[in-house]
């Protein structure tokens, strides 16, 4: 036996890398068997030295966060960097925040961004990207809503999977924060109470989508779910993630306060404690020695860690990861494309936009945020690009012969005068990373927005400027929904620009001057008032997450939002015609194909985001009126018609039957809707099909 163990140690990591499939699993098992308890436990925690960690209190991700690794056995450490706006390490390309990218509804674009992030991570010595944030914002005021892709599980899952696909051509990706993490200021202690059906149908499908895509790692959340911290939550980690879903990657904790107990975390299914050894060091060895944690639990965790490292050891082409790939021309162009595609045109009356350069003498740009480098959260998602294009800079660069004047808006009377003297006005208002984002303990930065209203000073500025100019476009900067009631009717045009990344100003200018047809659609519902939203207490110690939120809640209660989920205007008009279903009746394992024709009836080429919703109006259980089940970006030239096609699988329409502890496809009639948003007249086409028991 001793000779066998020594042989496994001698061949060690190289034998693992040389093997494939079942033989690799056997090689990993032999290596784990040969390792001492000290060696195994070392793999299960962060290993960045304390001095570097202390320095990162002042600049997060100044260094890589290391985990595990053993020089004697040849096992490399994990080299972690955060996201999701780009690589948090170094001076990397900064893309728009994820909520903005969610507004593009562009899977392929997100995949390309993932690839670029992976390349820049590897070029700077990282191999583990922690930027696939797919938490569902139950309330749009959640401070870190900007880090996720929207309010709907389908959209979240598809965009998250695209980011995973792209990044994992080069690095390991980590999806976070599992699960039910959507209150920022009480995230370290809040207990989220949620029933099993709501958990499975609302708060977990997007994580499963990323698991199905092959994501390398899952990060557990800080909060509790039904009384147990997520890093200790056996039901989440062992029963669902590793059991029901068959996830074979690694589970890591969120940083510092993500783990609270050695025994509970180990038995619950946590594999790596980050970023240091508090509970998975000497305490874990003692727990194994005393019999509180079986050594087989440690073996399982180490097996998962080594399996994941081995899977990505040969990813990409190392020779291609040179420093000149960081913020290269291609990645800058990608950031510009993403900024353009993310902007949502919410209102456009009297042909206010686009502004035509040949008919414009003077344009006034107003608002403090117009000249501010405003790219979002200052927390763990912060990216430090080498430059940031502000709205004012972008507009000036794109204006041609148009005279641009600027006023900060601090003196409202002066701002109104500047508006009167100009032919048109672009007014930039909203929020910054100081107002919303990751809540940093002991520092008054970020946090949640319980009230989605603009500041009173911003509203007063809007009213004064709009009163002085008939051609006024308001540009909103924020990470999530903003209330527009009270001032919306006073302005002819509104653009939602989010936090647009390093090329945000250029992207905005391209939309304003009509160089690009706006195509963004809201990934989150914009309510008419705070009263339309679920109860939210940013200091809550316990809170119930029920079945309804977002557009599903608005449908359920018959409420009318200011702007619905999926909404966005263009500089052209689209017609929806000729809905077809390939089958009017399908079995529980069947599929029907839904097709429709989309025609560009305007004079400008552009992209329409076609959305498919499905409802079960006669359901025997409480279900949403309709749910997003598919979407597609369709590019058309003026006058062109294109066919769009969606597959609807009966299995995807199942609900979670708590009594049977499984998914059930309900027999009966289903309604399909194809449209340009989730609401009313925008649901242009509808049809019916039946799911039978056979």
Whether the Cβ atoms of residue 360 and residue 424 lie closer than 8 Å to each other: yes
Neighbours of 298 (CB within 10 A): 24
| Structure tokens, 84 | 């999701």
Q: Which of 82, 254, 264, 448 is catalytic?
A: 254
C-alpha 141/C-alpha 534 separation (Å) is 11
Backbone angles phi, psi at 107, to 5 degrees: -60, -45
| Structure tokens, 339 | 């900024």
With tokens 């309900």, the residue in question is: 666
Backbone angles phi, psi at 537, to 5 degrees: -130, 110
Neighbours of 59 (CB within 10 A): 10
Whether the Cβ atoms of residue 611 and residue 135 lie closer than 8 Å to each other: no
C-alpha 689/C-alpha 479 separation (Å) is 38
Note if 254 is an active site residue. Answer: yes
Whether the Cβ atoms of residue 368 and residue 404 lie closer than 8 Å to each other: no
C-alpha 469/C-alpha 682 separation (Å) is 31
C-alpha 262/C-alpha 280 separation (Å) is 6
| Structure tokens, 460 | 């007063």
With tokens 């429709």, the residue in question is: 596
Residue 156, H or E segment: helix 153-167
Spell 532-551 as b/e; 16+ CB within 10 A means b. Answer: bbeebebebeebebebbbbb
E strands, 309-439, where?
344-348, 362-366, 403-407, 424-430
C-alpha 421/C-alpha 417 separation (Å) is 6
C-alpha 551/C-alpha 625 separation (Å) is 10
Catalytic residue positions, numbered = 254
């Amino acid at each position: 036996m001793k000779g066998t163990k020594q042989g496994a140690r001698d061949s060690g990591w190289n034998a693992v890398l040389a093997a494939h499939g079942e033989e690799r699993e056997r090689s990993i098992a032999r290596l784990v068997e040969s390792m001492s308890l000290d060696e195994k436990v070392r793999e299960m925690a962060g290993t960045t030295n304390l001095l570097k960690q202390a320095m990162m209190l002042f600049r997060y991700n100044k260094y890589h966060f290391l985990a595990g690794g053993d020089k004697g056995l040849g096992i490399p450490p994990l080299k972690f960097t955060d996201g999701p706006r780009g690589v948090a390490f170094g001076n990397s390309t900064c893309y728009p925040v994820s909520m903005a990218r969610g507004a593009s509804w562009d899977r392929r674009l997100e995949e390309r961004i993932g690839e670029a992030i992976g390349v820049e991570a590897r070029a700077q010595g990282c191999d583990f990207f922690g930027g696939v944030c797919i938490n569902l914002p139950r309330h749009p005021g959640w401070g870190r809503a900007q880090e996720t892709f929207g309010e709907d599980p389908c959209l979240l899952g598809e965009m998250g999977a695209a980011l995973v696909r792209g990044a994992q051509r080069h690095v390991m990706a980590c999806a976070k924060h599992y699960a039910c993490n959507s209150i920022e200021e009480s995230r370290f202690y809040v207990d989220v109470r949620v029933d099993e059906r709501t958990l499975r149908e609302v708060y977990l499908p997007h994580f499963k989508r990323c698991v199905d895509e092959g994501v390398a790692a899952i990060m557990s959340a800080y909060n509790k779910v039904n009384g147990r911290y997520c890093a200790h939550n056996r039901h989440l980690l062992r029963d669902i993630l590793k059991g029901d879903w068959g996830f074979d990657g690694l589970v890591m904790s969120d940083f510092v306060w993500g783990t609270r107990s050695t025994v509970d975390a180990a038995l619950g299914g946590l594999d790596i404690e980050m970023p240091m050894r508090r509970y998975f060091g000497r305490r874990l060895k003692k727990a194994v020695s005393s019999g509180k944690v079986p050594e087989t639990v440690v073996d399982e965790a180490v097996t998962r860690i080594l399996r994941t490292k081995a899977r990505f050891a040969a990813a990409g082409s190392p020779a291609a990861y040179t420093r000149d790939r960081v913020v290269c021309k291609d990645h800058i162009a990608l950031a510009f494309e993403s900024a353009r595609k993310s902007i949502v045109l919410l209102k456009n009356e009297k042909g206010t936009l686009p502004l035509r350069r040949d008919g414009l003498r003077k344009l006034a740009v107003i608002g403090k945020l117009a000249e501010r480098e405003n790219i979002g959260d200052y927390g763990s998602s912060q990216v430090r690009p080498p430059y940031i294009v502000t709205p004012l800079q972008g507009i000036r660069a794109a204006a041609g012969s148009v005279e641009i004047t600027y006023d900060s808006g601090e003196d409202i009377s002066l701002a109104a005068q500047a508006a009167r003297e100009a032919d048109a006005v672009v007014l930039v208002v909203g929020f910054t990373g100081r107002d919303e984002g990751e809540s940093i303990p002991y520092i008054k930065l970020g946090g949640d927005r319980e009230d989605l209203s603009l500041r009173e000073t911003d509203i007063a500025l809007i009213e004064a400027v709009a009163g002085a100019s008939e051609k006024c476009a308001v540009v909103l900067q924020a990470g999530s929904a903003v209330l527009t009631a009270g001032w919306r009717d006073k302005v002819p045009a509104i653009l939602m620009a989010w936090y647009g990344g390093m090329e945000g100003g250029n992207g905005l200018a391209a939309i304003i001057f009509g160089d690009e047809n706006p195509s963004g659609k809201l990934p989150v519902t914009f309510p008419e008032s705070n009263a339309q939203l679920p109860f939210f207490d940013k200091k809550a110690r316990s809170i119930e997450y029920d079945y309804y939120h977002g557009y599903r809640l608005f449908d359920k209660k018959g409420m009318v939002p200011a702007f619905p989920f999926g909404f966005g205007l263009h500089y052209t008009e689209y017609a929806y015609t000729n809905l077809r279903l390939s089958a009017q009746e399908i079995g529980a394992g069947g599929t029907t194909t839904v097709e429709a024709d989309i025609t560009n009836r305007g004079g400008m080429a552009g992209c329409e985001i076609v959305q498919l919703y499905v409802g079960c109006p006669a359901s025997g259980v409480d279900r949403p009126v309709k749910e997003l089940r598919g979407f597609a970006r369709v590019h058309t030239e003026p006058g062109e018609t294109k066919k769009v096609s969606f597959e609807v699988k009966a299995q995807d329409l199942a609900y979670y039957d708590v009594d049977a502890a499984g998914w059930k496809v309900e027999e009966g009639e289903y309604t399909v809707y194809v449209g340009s948003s989730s609401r009313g007249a925008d649901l242009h086409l509808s049809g019916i099909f039946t799911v039978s028991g056979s």
